[in-house]
Amino acid sequence: MVEFRSSSDKNTNAMNKVIIGFRSSLQAENDALSLVHSKIKMENTELTSSVLSNIEKLQEDLAVENKIIDELAEKTHKAKVLSVKLNTATKHVDDLETERTIVNNCVSEIYQYLMRLVLVTPC
């Protein structure tokens, strides 16, 4: 029985050493995983911050682009209105020039008739 007790104590001591070694190994692994977790968490925070910063920059750029598009649309509308006005004015000028030509022709004909009357009529 003494042998059994001695063998049991020896086995218990050996198992305790294995358990302590395993516990130390698990603790070291846990510490390493905690360190990796902390680094990943920090990198994730930095990445999230960077992404949010980029999103804000894109939103600002989009707002500027939308403003430019709105300004261009307004200027395009004004240009179209001015183009219509120019076309209308050009047509009106063309009509006036045609009228002037007609009036000049009429005046010329009247002048010729008057000249004939003056020449034909004795004084």
What would the pLDDT profile of 63-86 be if each residue is shown by its tens digit?
Answer: 999 999 999 999 999 999 999 999
CA atoms within 13 A on the CB side of 102: 6
Counted residue by residue, the chain has a size of 123
Whole-number Å distance between alpha carbons of 17 and 10: 11
121 or 111, greater pLDDT: 111
CA atoms within 13 A on the CB side of 112: 6
What value does the mean pLDDT of the chain take?
A: 94
What confidence score (pLDDT) does residue 123 get? 60
8 or 85, greater pLDDT: 85
What confidence score (pLDDT) does residue 10 get? 87
What confidence score (pLDDT) does residue 118 get? 86
Rounded average pLDDT over 51-58 = 98
